[in-house]
Amino acid sequence: MNNETFLRHIAHQKKHWWFQARKQIIFYIIKQIKFKKKINILDFGAGSGVNTEMLKHFGSVDVFEKNKVAIKNLKKKLKIKNSYSKFNMKKNYYYLILLADVIEHIKNPKQALRSLKKLLKKNGLILITVPAYQFLYSKKDKSLGHYRRYSKSSLANEIKNFKIKKVSYFNTFLFPIIAIMTLWNKFFKIDYIKNVEKTPNFLINKFLYSIFYFEKYFLKFFNFPFGISIYALIKK
């Protein structure tokens, strides 16, 4: 992704229903872990920092991000103390590592996860979210630098060297609409870049946010059988 596209992406995330609702779901998942004290957290692939500030609720947050535009944005706006663009973080230091839609950007995610495992404290956790279903792979994915989308089984294969606490699809209620629109764009070869980062009008944006956000109340009790995304909570 070039810098121009990335800057549009940053501005887009601040108000778009998908990023904001996903942030609230991630917050809810982490809150259910019920940490007894503040912890050390790594936001790996922090991007615009859409989740970074939220993570501060649970403890001290470091970030890893290769994009120089993103690092500058994080330092300036979120006043992050420790930011890394090279893999030189402290080993056995973090109790939680967040990879929010990150590993689909990595050529060899198993290798990356092995390296991240070394950064975790004993019984440390990694929370992963990824886009679901390879048949939905589109120009949007390609423009965002995605190598792949996942199924539960393909994600389970990536994380098999960890203790798996939970794996579930999410963004389920809106799946039919998003899947149909994605396949429509693929079929008619609609250029995602020209239509990227268009937030719906206020009412539609709020409506979609509310539907996606509402899923958090169900995730505690059962796993969704399908969805636009998947999350996994895994343990060292």
According to the model, what pLDDT value does residue 48 have?
A: 86
pTM of the model: 0.94
- What is the C-alpha separation between 7 and 70, in angstroms, rounded? 8
According to the model, what pLDDT value does residue 144 have?
A: 84
Higher pLDDT: 145 or 120? It is 120
Instruction: State pLDDT tens for residues 177-191.
Output: 999 999 998 888 776
According to the model, what pLDDT value does residue 68 have?
A: 81
* Domain limits for position 151: 3-235
- The domain total for the chain is 1
According to the model, what pLDDT value does residue 74 have?
A: 81
Residue matched to tokens 């420790």? 82
According to the model, what pLDDT value does residue 196 have?
A: 56
Domain CATH code at residue 120: 3.40.50.150
Instruction: State pLDDT tens for residues 83-116.
Output: 888 888 999 999 999 999 999 999 999 999 999 9
According to the model, what pLDDT value does residue 197 have?
A: 63
CB 95 within 8 A of CB 40: yes
Residue 10 pLDDT greater than 80, yes or no: no
Q: What is the dihedral of CA 149, 153, 154, 160, to 10 degrees?
A: 140
Strands of 163-170's sheet in order across: 83-84, 59-64, 39-44, 94-100, 120-131, 229-235, 163-170
Residue 37 pLDDT greater than 70, yes or no: yes
Residue 70 pLDDT greater than 70, yes or no: yes
Instruction: State pLDDT tens for residues 147-202.
Output: 999 999 999 999 999 999 999 999 999 999 999 999 998 888 776 555 556 789 99
